[in-house]
Structure 1
Amino acid sequence: MTNSPQARRIPYIHQNHGEERYDEFAWLRDDERSDQDVIDYLIAENRWCEQQLAPLSALQETLYAEMTARIPGNDHSVPFLKAGYWYQQRYQQGDDYPRWVWRKDNSQAQWRTLLDCNIRARDAEYYELGALEITADHRYMAVTEDYLSRREYTLRIKDLREQKWLPTVIEGLSPSIVWANDGQTLFYIKQDPQTLLPWQVWRHQLGNDPSQDTLIYEEHDDSFYVSLTSSSSEQRLFILLDSSTVSEAWAIDANNPHLPPCCVLERRANHEYSIDHFEEHYFIRSNRDGINFGLYRCTQDDTSEQNWHEVIPAKKDRILEDFQLFNDWLVTEEREQGIIQLCQYSLHNGQRYTLPKQAENGVVWIGHNPEVNTTRLRFGYSSLTTPTTTYEWDLNTHQLQRLKQVQIPLYDEHAYQSDWRWLTMRDGVKVPVSLVWRRDCLEPGKNPLLVYGYGAYGAVLEADFSFTRQSLLDRGFIYAMVHVRGGGELGRAWYDVGRLQYKMNSFNDFIDATQQLLQQGMGDSKRCYAMGGSAGGLLVAGVSNLAPTLFHGILAQVPFVDVVSTMLDESIPLTTGEYEEWGNPNIKEDYEVIRTYSPYDNVCEQAYPHLFVTTGLHDSQVQYWEPAKWVAKLRKMKTDAHQLLLYTDLDAGHGGKSGRYQAYVDIARECSFLIGLATGEWPKS
């Protein structure tokens, strides 16, 4: 193949709000993934991509070897205790997937295999374990598994005493499941077969045919997502209903699972809350008194808001992100000026302690603590230079113990430097940026700079550790995370000014921050690169239209680029649930806002950076045809001779390949693209 693939053009016109949008590549959409013309085109693009990257094949192999050599061969998690049993996740040398083991809480008990995901994944191109839940009497285990990477899970149940799988198989589910305390009743969530929205909660009785299962809740508003969880008290199961701005929770009595669920607090506009149950009380994290959330307590018999008791007030400068309950203590995750801290509060007198910071430029989180009757808190820490570390904190004595740090072969933490900076944007707003580089490679104004961003859904872009990034840092790259508006780093207000009619702030922040980093000497303006995935792919794709000369190359991973058409189509998974994020283009005002930045609709005749675009044929979040159409339109309209590559994983979805080794095939390919450009050794002119 000597010429790049050229998708055929078939005239098609979208007509909305008096505008005609020409879409010659609409034919690339095939919901069934079976149209041979479409598959042939994607295969042709893959071949072109592989041909163009062939000069980098040795580098790819080197990168893959480097990255996989950093994976600890035999590794295991810190065991945790729950209901008289210890649990641990283990990897053996060469295994792509973990093995879950367990044993009774006594010194003579032997570890036994609970679930070997390598066996479950045998002969499968993709495998993901969604949930693993065990009955209170330890007799049965239920799992949800995805074999297609489309986030459609299948439920299976195993009798642990007899060591055999039951014939029960239920397909088309969301991953979350919960057992009632009788060890016989299991709750699961069905997804809409077309949109894949989780919408129905069903009750299954062991021994019954799934056709006899009972529907106990159905969500009719398709802007809400449905999930299941259990309480710290283990006396309540919760049906959680969440949109971008509204929450609702229904409680099931875990001891009387055949009683109908009851609503804890009815939904209302702009009210978000999360909930737990402990010692006959509900603890509710709510934004009713402030957008940064407070914590409240009420009795299980009266959940009306006028009877809530304030435990932690909502604050203007501190975001209450999460909480966990223990017998005598309440532990919280609180974020201030983008930095998260763990705090503990006495449930008796409210006295507050702040756990010691591990470092200024890192992230800390509450770990897995399934037992409430303990004074020991597990928590995790990581930074751009520090591998994931598990600590245990004694809530009574305030003694700290490090239980484990992931060991990266041949890694010296002190060889790298990280930083946290505030940069002023064009409208005067200060935006935080996280940076990391290798100390002995820093040459002001001369290093290649890779800028990463996301900026959507209020998600926080955490400055944590990645050993794949080390391959770039060791080759002189500076890596920057721009915490653009639309994320959650500075709370709900930061999210609100980067969505809907304010979405352009995300793009401007990314551009402005990159320009300022270059002005500060944190990179070579001729070797500046951008990377983002999914909604972050939208970010960097939009920037390619708005500032096409700023970046030498852009890596767009599973990018959401055809925003107008996707948000107009309610049959596509996730569309209706995201109106509060992007807007509803059926409304003219929303349409006009989205139309200004939708990357596919704004491709024009101009020079673009080198572009490497990835997607997955079975992606349920960003449909494969969005990146495919975008690349086809770019080929038609761009005026440069830069590389434009599209790689479609024909066996995977949104998250790419599964397994701890296979995933690095794609990462090594993507990094070789960046390194090849930065060194000037590729492409040859």
Structure 2
Amino acid sequence: MPRHILFTGALAVSLLSGCSFQGESHVKASSPGELSAPVAKKIPHEMTIHGDTRVDNYYWMRDDARQDPDVIAHLNQENAYADQVLAHTEPMQAKLFDEIKGRIVKDDASVPVKKGSYFYSSEVEGDNEYRTYVRAKDFAGTDKTVILDVNALAKGHEFYSVGQLSVSPNENLLAYGEDTLSRRVYTIQVKDLTTGEYLDDKIEGASSSIVWQNDNQAFYYIKKDPQTLLGYQVYRHRLGTPQSADTLIYEETDTSYYTGLSKSKDGEQIFIWHSSTETSGVSLVDPNDPNATAQVFYPRETGIEYGVAKRGEWYYIYTNYQAVNFRLMKVHQSERDDRSQWQDVIAPNDKVQLVDFTLFDNHLVYEQRENGLPRTTVRNLTTGEEYQLSFNDSAYASYLTGNAEMDNSAVRVYYTSLTTPHTYYEFDLASGKREMLKQTQVLGDFNPDNYQSERVMITARDGAQVPVSLVYRKDRFKKDGTNPLYQYGYGSYGSTMTPMFSTTRLSLLDRGFVYAIAHIRGSEMLGRPWYEDGKKLNKKNTFNDFIDVTKALTEQGYGDKDKVFAVGRSAGGLLMGAIINQAPELYLGVAAHVPFVDIVTTMLDESIPLTTNEYDEWGNPNDKTYYEYMLSYSPYDNVTAQDYPNLLVTTGLHDSQVQYFEPMKWVAKLRELKTDNHTLVFKTDMEAGHGGASGRFKRIKEDALEYAFFLDLLDKQGK
């Protein structure tokens, strides 16, 4: 939850009394005894393209510097109003916070991962908000030493985040990025792990990706554009020299691409990743050459995606070349630029999606998804023999993780389900024998046998079968349409919301909620075609699927049609905005967190961070066809004079992904046009960005706020 905003002096008087300063946003007058909602000033701003003129009365709310007095004043007014409206829920928020926090083990540690001579892990103690990073010579941590204490670094900062930690090949130096503004722009520091002292080297305006040269004398990093926040230049920094002397290794001139950095498992290759929504590629840098230049692995082709991993003299290539659901190929390093020499390792399958893979000295482990269900296979690369890893649940999420070295004898897998806490297994590569390394402990009276998960298929209006993951508490659920329903969705970028466990969610399930994840089109739950059918000119399928799931779940008795709540974040916030324009009557309450709701204006403005990267996702509105289609569903442009559900909207002033002014404008327009008396509150964390508050317990406050908001609506409905 955003930090509480305190007001003093004249401004406080004006806010609480409903007065305003001339020409500024003001507080809407209301009946005696009623709270006052802020009303924003209107300054018409015309935007014309394709012969169509839109008038945006709240365009003035955009301030890239985030210092405009009128903007800050209005955000403060909204925060003050939200605090007033939600004041009576503070006891419930506090109860939920304590309840959720009470399930969390205060002293906890991650599973150590071996890299070089050390096992690396992180731990958290007591009421500390942040983790401490440690390493030891053995898995048990008998000689454990601290390499970075984030709690100490975060002191004095309202927001603090550490990016990727990168240890030099000789294991004596640690480079990491820190972000104190929540804009995902990092300052890279270098710490000497033998002395604990910091080097004078400091890199400003970078991403969090850092890769060392093998002589320990230099590292590679990505510089970000200060306006678009797009990482686009790869530099080599030599220790002991100023940033101004760094060598430019690669510059991405196409603003529709993201740039990434990593190193091969054997440490003998640096990868520069080039990725847009529909096209990707790789360049190679030799970490053994202090004067290395970037060499293209294989030229980029529109619509073709590929990524690579290295095993000896062979490269393994994950690609969608002639494979809608991706395939795995390999090529000898001497023939990488001749695609006719690429050989199939895992052939393409239109019904089975290849999701991920990892390589070992003598084994390949790969993940696939069929009909939305995952499976993991181990292949002996000498004999070709295969076996599948076995798990307990019928529907679950699993990911390859922590497999940092080629000579590991076991593969590590993260596993969870809607009823199974986060679990880490190791499977012996030779025998398949499974060992549990850790399962997250849930304090209190949690018993997984008290909860039931289901996977159902819902028929959408066009006949498509939409998977839905459900979980509820057995003794609180009756399939008679009386339970409150919490429906979550995302549905963009091919991102798949897998059925994962949540200790926070238990507070809803224990109060009788049915929790549903709608795996709508725009995700890749049913493979790559499922994603393609929910993007660009098919985007409305995403919204229709979510609405159709809501209707079906209530018709089938999973939820009360008068007690439905919907939640989405970021692009899922766009989903929320679209569904409440189209079918507001279906939802009692909606939470839209950092919502992307002003899609047309944003996608027409290339100065806004990430815009050009999104053309392959949403379409380019400079093309009239895409403009008209996007305009037909844009949440902000389609706000009308109608009743809307009760709404909780949140954002962060420093959000680098969805700028704060999108939800700010949206709320202002909703206040102007909505015809109901339902609650609409807008909370801005004046210190945070897209990911919300930093710190493990601060984040719980945001969840407690949302849950209390919904529970209060149920309580009012009961009265």
TM-score (norm 2): 0.94
Aligned residue for 2:38, secondary structure, equals coil
Q: Given the alignment of the two structures, is residue 328 of structure 1 paired with residue 362 of structure 2, yes or no?
A: yes
- Is contact 1:149–1:654 with CA below 8 Å preserved after alignment? yes
Whole-angstrom CA distance in 2 between matches of 1:618 and 1:259: 37
8 A Cα contact 2:450 2:473, kept in partner = yes
Q: Please state how far the C-alpha of 1:357 moved relative to its aligned partner.
A: 2.6
Q: Distance in 2 between the 1:374 and 1:626 partners?
A: 48
- Does the residue aligned with 2:194 lie in a helix, a strand or coil? coil
Q: 1:661 aligns with which of 673, 697, 709?
A: 697
Match 2:425 to one of 391, 395, 398: 391
C-alpha contact (below 8 Å) 1:458/1:487 kept by paired residues? yes
Of 129-138 and 104-113, deviating more is 104-113
Residues 1:68 and 2:104 are matched in the alignment:
no
Report the equivalent of 1:624. 660
Q: Secondary structure at the match of 2:488?
A: strand
Q: Distance in 2 between matches of 1:108 and 1:426?
A: 56
- Could you say which residue in structure 2 is the equivalent of 1:20? 53
State whether residues 43 and 60 of structure 2, in contact with CA within 8 Å, keep that contact through their aligned partners in structure 1: yes
1:366–1:380 Cα contact (<8 Å) kept:
yes
Aligned partner of residue 637 in structure 2, secondary structure: helix
For 1:46-445, list aligned pairs within 5 A: 46-105=79-138, 110-303=143-336, 304-410=338-444, 411-443=446-478, 444-445=480-481
Could you say which residue in structure 1 is the equivalent of 2:25?
none
Where does the alignment leave 5 or more consecutive residues of structure 1 unmatched?
none
Could you tell me which residue of structure 2 aligns to residue 483 of structure 1?
519
- 1:358–1:381 contact (8 Å) kept in structure 2: no
Q: Give me the whole-angstrom Cα distance separating, in 1, the residues matched to 2:566 and 2:702.
A: 17
Distance 1:382 1:109, change over 3 A: closer
Deviation at 1:369? 1.1
Aligned-residue offset at 1:105: 4.1
Letter in 2 for 1:438: R
Q: Give CA-to-partner distance per residue, 1:494-535, whole Å, 9 cap, x none.
A: 111100000000000000011000000011111111100000
C-alpha distance in structure 2 between counterparts of 1:486 and 1:87, whole Å: 36
Output the CA distance in 2 between the equivalents of 1:144 and 1:363. Answer: 30
**1 CA distance for matches of 2:205 and 2:81?**
35
Other structure's SS at 1:668 match:
helix
Describe the SS at the equivalent of 1:435.
Answer: strand
- 1:4 aligns with one of 37, 46, 68: 37
Supply the distance in 2 between the matched residues of 1:522 and 1:231 (Cα, whole angstroms): 48
Counterpart check, 1:584 vs 2:617 = no
Cα distance, 1:233 vs structure 2: 2.1
8 Å Cα contact 1:472/1:675 also seen in 2: no
CA shift, 1:555, in A, is 0.5
Deviation at 1:162, TM superposition (A): 2.0
Distance 1:516 1:109, change over 3 A: closer
Note if contact 1:190-1:199 (Cα within 8 Å) is conserved in structure 2: yes
Conserved 8 A contact 1:311-1:350: no
How does 1:604-615 map onto structure 2 within 5 Å?
604-615=640-651
CA deviations over 1:133-153 (Å, ceiling 9, x no partner) = 101111111001111111111
For the residues of structure 2 that align with 1:642 and 1:106, how far apart are their CA atoms?
55
Q: Give me the identity figure in percent.
A: 45
Measured after TM superposition, the shift of residue 159 of structure 1 is 1.1
Q: Shift of residue 350 of structure 1?
A: 2.5
Measure the CA separation in 2 of the matches of 1:439 and 1:257: 62
Q: How far does residue 108 in structure 1 lie from its aligned partner after superposition?
A: 9.8
Structure 2 counterpart SS, 1:620: coil
> Are 2:200 and 2:240, in contact at CA under 8 Å, matched by a contact in 1?
no
Q: 1:430-509 to 2 correspondence within 5 Å? A: 430-443=465-478, 444-509=480-545
Q: Which amino acid in 2 is paired with 1:252?
A: V
SS for the counterpart of 1:301 is helix
Map 1:668-679; keep pairs closer than 5 Å.
668-679=704-715
Distance 1:75 1:583 in 2: 45
Structure 1: how far apart are the matches of 2:297 and 2:149? 38
AA partner of residue 379 (structure 1): V
Aligned-partner Cα distance in 1 for 2:582–2:88? 31
**Cα deviation code 1:388-446 (max 9, x no counterpart):** 00111001011111111000102111111111111111101101000011111113211
- Is contact 1:241-1:247 (8 Å) kept? yes
Of 41, 49, 63, the match for 1:30: 63
* Letter matched to residue 459 of structure 2: T
Structure 1 residues 106 and 448 mapped into 2: Cα distance closer, same or farther (>3 Å)? closer
* Residue 104 (structure 1) shift: 2.4
1:616/1:650 contact within 8 Å kept? yes
Report if aligned partners of 1:341, 1:357 keep a CA contact under 8 Å in 2. no
Tell me whether 1:600 sits opposite 2:633 in the alignment: no
Instruction: State the partner residue of 2:547.
Output: 511
Structure 1 counterpart of 2:229, which letter?
Answer: L
| Greater CA drift, 175-184 or 193-202 | 175-184
Q: Quickly say closer, same or farther: Cα 1:387–1:618, change in 2 above 3 A.
A: same
d(CA) in 1 for partners of 2:292 and 2:78?
Answer: 55
Q: Map Cα deviations across residues 544-586 of structure 1 (whole Å, 9 max, x no partner).
A: 0000101011100010000000000000000000000011111
Q: Distance in 1 between matches of 2:49 and 2:343?
A: 50
Instruction: State the distance in 1 between where 2:134 and 2:61 align.
Output: 46
Q: Which residue of 2 aligns with 1:543?
A: 579
Who is 2:19 aligned against? none
Look up the equivalent residue of 1:307 and give its one-letter code. Answer: Q
What amino acid sits opposite 2:497 in the alignment? L
1:298–1:309 Cα contact (<8 Å) kept: yes
Q: 2:135, 2:141 within 8 Å by CA — same for their partners in 1?
A: no
Partners of 1:446 and 1:93 in 2: CA distance = 40
Structure 2 letter corresponding to 1:416: Y
* Alpha-carbon distance in structure 2 between the residues aligned to 1:314 and 1:376: 27
Deviation at 1:129, TM superposition (A): 1.3
> 1:289 Cα deviation (Å)?
2.3
Q: Greater CA deviation, 97-106 or 636-645?
A: 97-106
The question of whether the paired residues in 1 share the 8 Å contact of 2:609 and 2:657 is answered with yes
Unaligned 5+ segments in structure 2 are 1-15, 17-34
- Aligned mates of 1:522, 1:113 — CA distance in 2: 49
Backbone CA RMSD of aligned residues: 1.2
Q: Secondary structure at the match of 1:632?
A: helix
Q: Which residue identity is paired with 1:382?
A: T
CA distance in 2, matches of 1:119, 1:108: 22
CA drift at 1:106? 9.2
Measure, in 2, the Cα distance between the counterparts of 1:16 and 1:352: 57
Q: Do 2:266 and 2:405's aligned partners in 1 also have CA atoms closer than 8 Å?
A: no
Indicate the residue corresponding to 1:555 in structure 2: 591
Which residue of structure 1 aligns with residue 558 of structure 2?
522
- Please tell me the residue identity of whatever aligns with 1:247: S
